[in-house]
Structure 1
Amino acid sequence: MLTNPRSPRVRAVAKLAKRSARRDTGLYLLEGPQAVREALDSAPDVVTEVYATEGALERNRDIVTALTDAGLRADIAEERVVAAMADTVTPQGIIAVARQRPASLDDVLSRGPKLVAICHEIRDPGNLGTIIRVADASGADAVILTGDTVDPYNPKAVRSTTGSLFHIPIVMGAELSDAAAATQRAGLRVLAADVGGDDLMAVRAELAAPTAWLFGNEARGLDSEALAFADRALRLPIYGRAESLNLATAASVCLYESAFAQRT
């Protein structure tokens, strides 16, 4: 049993909350039974280490079975050790370390995608994680991250995906110009979600075509240079008195509008 929260092994896991450590090691944190369960179910090969309290394993016997099926085992640790590893204030007793597995832009586009989300300069990990989750739920084929978008392996982003991180390909580090041009060559229209665009309701019928939605920074949106890469800019109509929608909510509506149109 691991009992020392200051041991080098525990510190190495805890450092994965920092982007520099994730970049240097290619590893990241999974916190809580839901994240570990999804990883073992969808991508057991990425899981390298699991740490858990005895109580957490008793409460989650299915995870013990999944670990055995994957040829893995959990290292038993005291609660204070798991707490020292975790990024959350109230960890749920199970922590895993996983290998990052980003997809390549060429590979994603070679599969003939119909719906893609391009996230440009998004800085809030909760927003990014929610968009990844919505892209998964709406049946999108990939999420492409461009510019200085937050790391999808940030612990808060990982938690916000609620497991969708393992269900949908994520392309990291692409230039927006390259991503837009490549998706257009693959037969997708690039539609920018922008408050200055045309009313989305006026072009709903066009959303049945293969589409790459472009979403910008929470505060600044998309600048003129970024908008120039899109085929068209569209806005969501506001029928009430709200000033605007937050990024994750707007992205949810856009992706689902395309999903509905493509399935009608």
Structure 2
Amino acid sequence: MERRKYREKHKEYIAEGVRILYDALENKQTIKSAVFCDALYRTAGGESLLTRLVDQGIRVYHIPEKLYAEIADTESPQGIMAVLPRIQINLGQLLKKENGLYILLDRVQDPGNLGTIIRTADAAGVDAVLLTKGCVDVYNPKTIRSTMGSIFHLPILILEDQQEAQDFFKSNQIRILTTSLSAKCYHYEIDYRQAAAIVVGNEANGVSDLWMEAADDLVKIPILGKAESLNVSTAASIMLYEAVRQRME
């Protein structure tokens, strides 16, 4: 929580590891500075990364292994991390495609789930990911690692006003499709070929009443065994790829 407070205060976050920083560079992300530990970095196989950072004029600080280990978030650190600015966007900046596809996460708590959903949304061609207040911090180091670079590929918006988001969807004819165990329709019975926002909810409590009441359709995923529910990232994946299937026909 202490780290989240400082991320929010300074509007910055840390990305750690060779692959994620390569992804940041390839996607033309701004890197403000980097921290480097020679003893750890040599084992990571990313010798050209440091050169690229320096060649781009990014300030790199060399620190000893003991200090790096204290600030690293991973169990097997690769010896390099960087500070990036948070990207600030608002609803008006979202692409308003004729058949746009969005996913809204309502109070999702697990950073691994959040990162997996962002990665799946990226693969499925989603136009934006929207997060309600109460979601785990999207800039949590575990979340960033779980996205496998997808955090750099698509807009991610943290909602300050959920009613504003609902009004945005309604005014742009974007249907709100909300998951609910009590729904009468299965997820594959809904038409995803028009503009749609898929809403998935908290791991323990599901989607809030606010989004249930705003939904144009409530949908459920068949559960044939004895499990009470699906993991939220699994549910999101199933619905997103049903949209992909329909849109590819």
1:178 aligns to 2:159 (yes or no)? no
Secondary structure of 1:207's match? Answer: coil
Deviations 1:78-116 (A, max 9, x none): 222221221223322111111101321111044556110
1:48 to 32, 40, 57: 32
SS in 1 for 2:94: helix
Shift of 1:172: 1.0
Shift of 1:152: 0.6
Give the match for residue 20 of structure 1: 5
**Structure 1 ranges of 4+ moved more than 6 A:** none
Alpha-carbon shift at residue 166 of structure 1 (Å) = 0.5
1:191 matches 2:186 = no
Q: Where does residue 227 of structure 1 map in the other structure?
A: 212
1:166-207 deviation line (CA, Å, top 9, x unaligned): 101011133222212202222211100121113325524x12
Which of 88, 97, 114 is the equivalent residue of 1:102? Answer: 88
Cα deviation, residue 66, structure 1: 3.2
Provide the C-alpha distance between the structure 1 equivalents of 2:12 and 2:98, rounded to a whole number of angstroms: 30
Give the Cα separation in 1 of the matches to 2:82 and 2:108.
26
239-248 vs 57-66, which moves further: 57-66
RMSD: 2.1
Structure 2 vs 1, CA of residues 42 and 210 (structure 1 numbering), >3 Å: closer, same or farther? same
Tell me by how many angstroms 1:163 deviates: 0.8
Residue 155 (structure 2) pairs with residue 161 (structure 1): no
Aligned to 1:93: 79
- Change in Cα spacing, 1:17 to 1:29, as seen in structure 2 (3 Å) is farther
Q: 1:74 aligns with which of 54, 60, 67?
A: 60
Q: How far 1:220 moved relative to its partner?
A: 0.3
Distance apart, 1:263 and its partner CA: 2.1
Q: Is the 8 A contact 1:17 1:87 kept in 2?
A: no
Cα distance change, pair 202–89 in 1 and its aligned pair in 2 (3 A): closer
**Aligned residue-pair number:** 247
Give the letter for the 2:32 counterpart: T
- 1:105-141 CA distances to partner (integer Å, 9 max, x unpaired)? 1110445561101111112222111111111111001
CA distance in 1, matches of 2:28, 2:90: 17
Which segment is superposed worse, 107-116 or 225-234? 107-116
- Following superposition, the deviation at residue 69 of structure 1 comes to 5.0
Q: What are the within-5 Å matches in structure 2 for residues 28-39 of structure 1?
A: 28-39=13-24
Q: Cα offset for 1:232?
A: 0.9
1:120, 1:217 within 8 Å by CA — same for their partners in 2? yes
CA deviation map 1:236-260 (0-9, x unaligned): 1113343321011111111111122
What percentage of residue pairs aligned between the two structures are identical? 35
Q: 3-state DSSP class of the match of 1:197?
A: coil
Residues 183 and 189 in structure 1, CA contact (< 8 A), matched pair in contact too: yes
Q: Tell me if 1:114 matches 2:100.
A: yes
Residues in 2 aligned to 1:23 and 1:172: alpha-carbon distance in whole angstroms: 12
> As a proportion of its length, which structure holds more helix?
1
Partners of 1:106 and 1:212 in 2: how far apart? 16
Unpaired runs of 5+ in structure 1? 1-15
2:244 paired with 1:259:
yes
Confirm or deny: 8 A CA contact 1:113 1:141 kept in the other structure.
no
Which range moved further: 115-124 or 78-87?
78-87
